[in-house]
Amino acid sequence: MAADPLRELDDDATSYVAAHALEDYLSAAVDAAIRSKPENPLTFIAEYLLRQRDSDAPAPQRSLSTPGRGRRNPLKLELHAKARSQENPDYPQRLAVSDEQCRWTVEWPSYMPPVWTHKVVLANDRDLPTGYKWADPPDQRQLRSELEERTTFATEGGVGECLRGAIDFDDEGSPLNPVGRTGMRGRGLLGKWGPNHAADPIVTRFHPETKQLQVVVIQRKDNGQWAIPGGMVDAGESVSVTVKREFAEETGNLRTEEERLEFKRLLDDLFANGKQVYRGYVDDPRATDNAWMETTAFHFHCPREVGDKLPLAAGDDAGQVMWLDVSADNETYRNLYGAHRALIDEAVFGAWARGELQATMIGCD
């Protein structure tokens, strides 16, 4: 059987990465940047790597305690910022919560934020005879045992655990946001008390001419922000089904049967080989003290023949769809919705360090 040249390149790249501990160095550099939050993270990372190169210290070691990428998950450790912001245009004023006041472990006896749940959530209560039934009923006390059985991924390494044991509940029986205060109680625009589970497809390619790495983003209809075309996991649905369904709904609103068939064919191939890059809590402007977003993000990198051809047309919750340059110099990229920039950075750093992107970049020529 003839050898697959890309496969050989891939193996070659992987052993090169391993021989030079590149993933370890890159992971350590990204972790350091996340801890220090410099204004220009890429300059910080470049300088960190140069210092490592010039020092005699051994290569940084990844923690073995964490499944997945083998290091503590940076997204989970950060304080949320969007969850304390007024970014969602529908939200009433939150109580201001500073970084220092955010963690529940910090005493704040007079903390009394507004309680607010959007009427669209109340109208879709699963116990009502009308509506779409995607929301919990309003009385959280009656749901206590059910809530305790639900799964949260806001844990070390994104390992699923029951809320009982993993999440605190307040005196009224409401689950407490695992990161900390948000300046608002109730559920806001989120249907579920506690974790609301989503799935995010990070679809990348190298632009055929500029060779710039790009990612598929949609413009959300609810707030006009650009975002990964992800969405909520439907009841009984697996995340791998959600991730493909959401991508198809939001980017595959094509007009002709021929285009739709081509889109489906390319998507079936592309989504057969994704890599889970993150599972856990994500910072979202809809979060409250008692309801928050958790996601499972997958990375799908297009080989050239797919990246060039994938027809895209916005649909469902998306106003527009486009390929966006993955670049800190790009304002839209810097300002992506929720935690989406961090998710894409995580996916791209990992794929690059494993040598998975290089082969398709060479394939651009």
When the beta carbons of 196 and 360 are compared against ligand RP5, the nearer one is: 196
When the beta carbons of 22 and 227 are compared against ligand RP5, the nearer one is 227
Q: Under rule CB under 6 A, which residues in 320-349 are in contact with ligand RP5?
A: 338
Q: In this complex, which beta carbon is closest to ligand RP5, that of residue 33 or of residue 344? A: 344
Residue 166 makes contact with ligand RP5 by CB under 6 A:
no
The correct pick among 282, 302, 306, 359 for binding ligand RP5 (CB under 6 A) is 282
The residue (of 121 and 282) whose beta carbon lies closer to ligand RP5 is 282
Q: Is 178 in the site for ligand RP5 (CB under 6 A)?
A: no
| Residue 13 vs 293, nearer CB to ligand RP5 | 293
Q: Are strands 161-162 and 151-152 parallel, antiparallel or unpaired?
A: antiparallel
- Which string of x and - marks every residue 209-238 that binds ligand RP5 (by CB under 6 A)? ------------------xx-xxx------
By CB under 6 A, is residue 295 in contact with ligand RP5? yes
Verify binding: residue 75, ligand RP5, rule CB under 6 A.
Answer: no
Does 200 interact with ligand RP5 (rule: CB under 6 A)?
A: yes
Select from 166, 152, 180 the least CA-distant residue to 281: 152
- Distance in angstroms (rounded) separating the CA atoms of residues 281 and 21: 29
Closest CB to ligand RP5 among residues 227, 359 = 227
Position 195 contacts ligand RP5 (CB under 6 A): no
Does 293 engage in binding with ligand RP5 (CB under 6 A)? yes
DSSP code per residue over 138-150:
S-GGGGHHHHHHS
For CA atoms 232, 138, 83, 276, give the dihedral sign: negative
Q: Which two tokens stand for residue 75?
A: 């997204």
C-beta neighbour count of 264 within 10 angstroms: 13
For residue 104, what are the contacts with CB-CB under 8 A and spacing of at least 6? Answer: 168, 176, 180, 181
Distance CA 353, CA 346 (A): 11
Q: In this chain, which of 284, 289, 345, 356 binds ligand RP5, going by CB under 6 A?
A: 284
C-alpha to C-alpha distance for 356 and 359, rounded to whole angstroms? 6
DSSP H or E run through 323: strand 318-325
CB 320, min distance to ligand RP5, A = 15
Candidates 152, 158, 211; CA nearest to 177 is 152
Structure tokens at 207: 């632009």
Residue 310 has φ and ψ, to the nearest 5°, of: -55, 110
Query: Can you give the binding site for ligand RP5, defined by CB under 6 A?
Result: 198, 200, 227-228, 230-232, 282, 284, 293, 295, 317, 338
